[in-house]
Structure 1
Amino acid sequence: MDAATAVWPRLNYQRTARRAVLRLLAFAAGPLPDIKIKPGEYGLPDGDHLAGLTVTQHDDPAWLDQWRTGLWRTDAEHDLVDADQLDVAGHCVSITADLPDPPDLGHLQAGWALAQGLVAHGAFAVLDTYAGRWVDAALLETWPPERPFDLDEEVNVVLRTDGAGGFGHVLFTRGLAKFARPDVVAVVRPGTARTVNRVVRQLAGMLVEGGTAIAGQRLGAGDPALGGAAAFRLAVYDPGVNAPDLPLDNDALLVVPA
């Protein structure tokens, strides 16, 4: 019998009225079976975490195309060894969740456990739509059942340097919707890249662990949780007004100088 995996905790959990959402899409050339897994398999923790997931089969070409063209295809070309496999994918299984702000991260473990199970049955790639990241089957197969939580696997921190909208370089997260938290955006001004990167990552880590943040809040300047960085405050992210319109699929907080 497989040993059960410990649930990923949220060590600073503060309940909010927000909801956690998840959408993983497993692509395959042929049909994928309805699979059943038990605690311990593929890192599924004890508890009723599968009950919060909805699993749906898709084979409509138009539905598949929306995820393998445009910006999603650009991401796939970056993340996958062979993105052209998507062109022959005739089937996809979506794993979704929409649940009240959870006190632990069992829903993520359950989602990825199902995704690994689908890879074992023929899926060649999985798209984490909220993080905006594709994962090759070969990489998923290397994830051990007892793997610890890894912020960098769940949250995508992106540096955009195209100067869209005249804002210059922008650093932003993708994926905090999975934790029932807003994403984080920061305009990177000359000479601030290292500090802004540290602040964004540490703020994201605090939110993932269940902490909260609101517009108007000051951070840094002696705050141990943020490494004593220079003082910043949080504002409501207003796409196209105080930062570029970004592919977040979530609301966000903007890190600005205090």
Structure 2
Amino acid sequence: MSSPIEPWARPAFRPTGRPAAVALVAFADDDILGADADLRLSGTVPAGAPVAALDFRGHHVSGSAEWIDGWRTGGLRTVAERDLGDPARPGDLARLDAATSCYLASIEVDDPADLTHLQLAWAVASALARKGAFAVLDVYAATWWAGPAVAALAPDRPFTVQQEVSLTAETEPTPGFGHTVHTRGLVKVGRPDLITGVPVDDIQHTAQILNHLGRMLAEGHLLEPGQHLRFDGERTLRVEPYAPGDNAPDVGLNDHALLLVDV
């Protein structure tokens, strides 16, 4: 008898009233479910996971061509070239272009005290990958996963913020702001994304700071405007509201964000 799946806990959880949302889009060459829509999730999600909040839908080119193309063109296509364009798997992008079916698993929950909604969403994606989905888009993090990697996800794996929240550092600086470094996907844990601007020599250290803060937010901590954060005994960041296009570049974040300013 297998052991129960432990929930991804938030030991520092503080309520905010904000929702958390996750959306995963799995691409397949053709219809991989047919009349059998049972994904057989038993034993792959924790007890108490918000199954009632799961919105699961299949889409096929015959009736949803424009909807499907919206996930594999434009900026998301550029990200797919980065994430799926491995020379060792040159067929992945061609399959993405030719795919006739995709499946959306989305969940929105109010102010979750744990992260079982993420475990549930990935369990659905993993089941789809085992049935033949070859690529999965994490919508809010804007990252692509190869199907075999999703199929191999262990249900009892620990939470890892780097797998749930992406981090971007712009190679070109913005005058007066510096190189933009920001998270994407903290809405998945019901927290605002983080953005800052730094000189090129500070990008790596700043990325480490954002990963650390992302993990804290996933655990349930809060950041508030006006708060000062001290790192390594020598660097202090002040938390401010983010006004895209005003006090920082507009990077198209899906949710509201907080600006971190060196002081």
Is the structural similarity TM-score above 0.5? Answer: yes
* Pair 87,38 (structure 1): closer, same or farther in 2 beyond 3 Å: closer
Segments of structure 1 that go 5 or more residues without pairing to the other structure are: 221-225
**Number of corresponding residues:** 251
Partner residue in 2 for 1:25: 25
Partner residue in 2 for 1:223: none
Q: Is the contact between residue 3 and residue 39 of structure 1 (CA under 8 Å) also seen in structure 2?
A: no
Instruction: Quote the offset at 1:243 in angstroms.
Output: 1.7
Q: Is the contact between residue 182 and residue 252 of structure 1 (CA under 8 Å) also seen in structure 2?
A: yes
Residues 1:151 and 2:154 aligned together: no
State how far apart, in whole Å, the 1-side matches of 2:160 and 2:233 are.
23
Q: Is the contact between residue 169 and residue 187 of structure 1 (CA under 8 Å) also seen in structure 2?
A: yes
Partner residue in 1 for 2:89: none
SS in 2 for 1:107: helix
SS in 2 for 1:254: strand
Instruction: Determine which of 124, 130, 141 is the counterpart of 1:120.
Output: 130
Instruction: Determine which of 243, 246, 255 is the counterpart of 2:251.
Output: 246
Partner residue in 2 for 1:97: 107
State how far apart, in whole Å, the 1-side matches of 2:249 and 2:175 are.
6
Instruction: Quote the offset at 1:233 in angstroms.
Output: 0.4
Instruction: Determine which of 38, 63, 69 is the counterpart of 2:67.
Output: 63
Partner residue in 1 for 2:206: 196
* Pair 61,164 (structure 1): closer, same or farther in 2 beyond 3 Å: farther
**CA RMSD of the aligned region, Å?**
1.7
- 1:6-25 equivalences under 5 Å are 6-25=6-25
- 1:214-253 equivalences under 5 Å are 214-220=224-230, 226-253=231-258
* Pair 214,25 (structure 1): closer, same or farther in 2 beyond 3 Å: same
Partner residue in 2 for 1:176: 186
Structure 1 counterpart of 2:72, which letter?
R
State how far apart, in whole Å, the 2-side matches of 1:183 and 1:175 are.
7
Segments of structure 2 that go 5 or more residues without pairing to the other structure are: 87-91
State how far apart, in whole Å, the 1-side matches of 2:131 and 2:207 are.
39
TM-score (norm 2): 0.90
State how far apart, in whole Å, the 1-side matches of 2:179 and 2:128 are.
38
Q: Is the contact between residue 58 and residue 92 of structure 1 (CA under 8 Å) also seen in structure 2?
A: yes
